[in-house]
């Protein structure tokens, strides 16, 4: 049972991780990565500062020990000189005192010499560690600067990707199927083309019908009558016929000119 629960928990954790990775904003993740790099640089600088501080402390201890060594060495020499002077003056008590003092200084000198040697070795190690820490900070600082520069590049690419996605979405919306709140361009075009095709079909049917031919004949008759009337008016006014169609206009003008004379003749004959 515990094994099943553990497997279930691992599955849920992996699923939640995948879901978070899919829905996470890359810009936020990028800022998190930069913040982590900056925090790492801060921690590294603190560690390097501690190493350098240890090196400085060791250097101070070494300088102090060397100063004490020089002082004790001088005191030991002075004690020996004073013991020698006491020997020459026959002061045996002072000879023993100065000799004992010189031995004490000598023991102190030996301890200081050992301490100086140890401090020199420690100072050398701390100096190497400080140099390594400085180099590590410098390298990590260069890496951080590269990451900051890369962040600007990635942010620019992210903005371009978002713009391209918006363009793709806009272009796809122009060709999407029916079902949206606003009709697409393709739907409007298909609707207009369908109405145009239907209107053309109806026009073809109308042109091929008997009624359309009858209307055409009636229109032609009306046009002929209009031309004849214009020719009659020109004849009455003594104007020349149109030059574009002289034969047609002249013939049309003669026919109406005879019509009134026939009509006059017809009215006069009953009187005769």
List per-residue pLDDT tens for the chain, 272 residues long. Answer: 677 777 767 766 765 666 555 666 777 777 888 888 888 889 888 999 999 999 899 999 999 999 999 999 999 899 889 988 888 888 888 889 988 998 998 999 999 999 999 999 999 999 999 999 889 888 888 888 888 888 778 878 878 887 887 777 776 665 554 455 666 677 778 888 888 888 888 777 766 666 667 777 888 888 888 888 888 888 888 887 655 444 444 444 444 444 444 434 444 443 32
Listed residue (210, 254, 189) closest to 228, CA to CA: 254
Neighbours of 122 (CB within 10 A): 17
* Helix/strand/coil for 231: helix
All structural domains of the chain: 11-159 (1.10.287.1700), 188-261 (no CATH)
Question: Which token pair is 152?
Answer: 């600007």
CA 95 to chain centre: 90
The residue to which tokens 């301890």 are assigned: 111
Whether the CA torsion 96, 99, 101, 104 is positive or negative: it is negative
Q: Are 241 and 231 in contact (CB under 8 A)?
A: yes
Q: Identify the burial level of 198 via C-beta atoms within 10 angstroms of its C-beta, where 0-12 means exposed, 13-18 middle and 19 or more buried.
A: exposed
φ/ψ of 47, rounded to 5, equals -65, -45
Question: Which token pair is 45?
Answer: 């600088």
Q: What is the pLDDT of residue 256?
A: 46
CA 53 to chain centre: 44
Q: What is the pLDDT of residue 157?
A: 80
Q: Give counts: helices (H), strands (E), the chain.
A: 6, 0
Question: Which token pair is 248?
Answer: 């047609």
CA 102 to chain centre: 80
Measure the CA–CA gap between 226 and 117, rounded to whole angstroms: 136
Q: What is the pLDDT of residue 56?
A: 92
Whether the CA torsion 88, 92, 98, 104 is positive or negative: it is positive
Q: Which long-range contacts does 222-231 make (Cβ < 8 Å, 24+ apart)?
A: 224/252, 227/252, 228/252, 228/253, 228/255, 228/256, 229/256, 231/256
Measure the CA–CA gap between 271 and 265, rounded to whole angstroms: 10
**Measured distance between the N- and C-terminal CA atoms of the chain, rounded to whole angstroms:** 139
Question: Which token pair is 179?
Answer: 């079902």
Question: Which token pair is 217?
Answer: 């004949």
């Amino acid at each position: 049972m515990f094994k099943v629960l553990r497997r279930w928990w691992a599955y849920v954790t992996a699923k939640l991780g995948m879901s978070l990775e899919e829905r996470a904003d890359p810009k936020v993740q990028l800022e998190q990565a930069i913040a982590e790099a900056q925090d790492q640089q801060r921690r590294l600088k603190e560690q390097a500062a501690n190493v350098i501080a240890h090196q400085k402390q060791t250097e101070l201890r070494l300088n102090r020990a060397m100063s004490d060594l020089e002082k004790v060495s001088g005191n030991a020499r002075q004690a020996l000189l004073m013991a020698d002077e006491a020997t020459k003056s026959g002061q045996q008590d002072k000879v023993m005192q100065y000799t004992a003092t010189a031995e004490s200084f000598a023991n102190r000198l030996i301890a200081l010499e050992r301490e100086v040697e140890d401090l020199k070795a420690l100072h050398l190690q701390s100096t190497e560690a400080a140099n390594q820490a400085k180099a590590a900070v410098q390298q990590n600082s260069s890496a951080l600067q590269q990451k900051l520069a890369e962040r600007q590049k990635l942010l620019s690419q992210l903005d371009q990707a978002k713009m391209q996605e918006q363009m793709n979405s806009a272009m796809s919306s122009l060709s999407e199927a029916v079902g949206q709140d606003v009709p697409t361009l393709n739907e409007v075009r298909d609707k207009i083309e369908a109405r145009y095709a239907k209107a053309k079909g109806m026009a073809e049917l109308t042109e091929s019908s008997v009624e359309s031919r009858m209307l055409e004949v009636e229109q032609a008759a009306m046009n002929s009558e209009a031309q004849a009337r214009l020719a009659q008016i020109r004849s009455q006014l003594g104007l020349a016929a149109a030059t574009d169609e002289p034969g047609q206009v002249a013939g049309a003008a003669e026919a109406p000119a005879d019509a009134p004379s026939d009509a006059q003749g017809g009215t006069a004959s009953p009187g005769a």
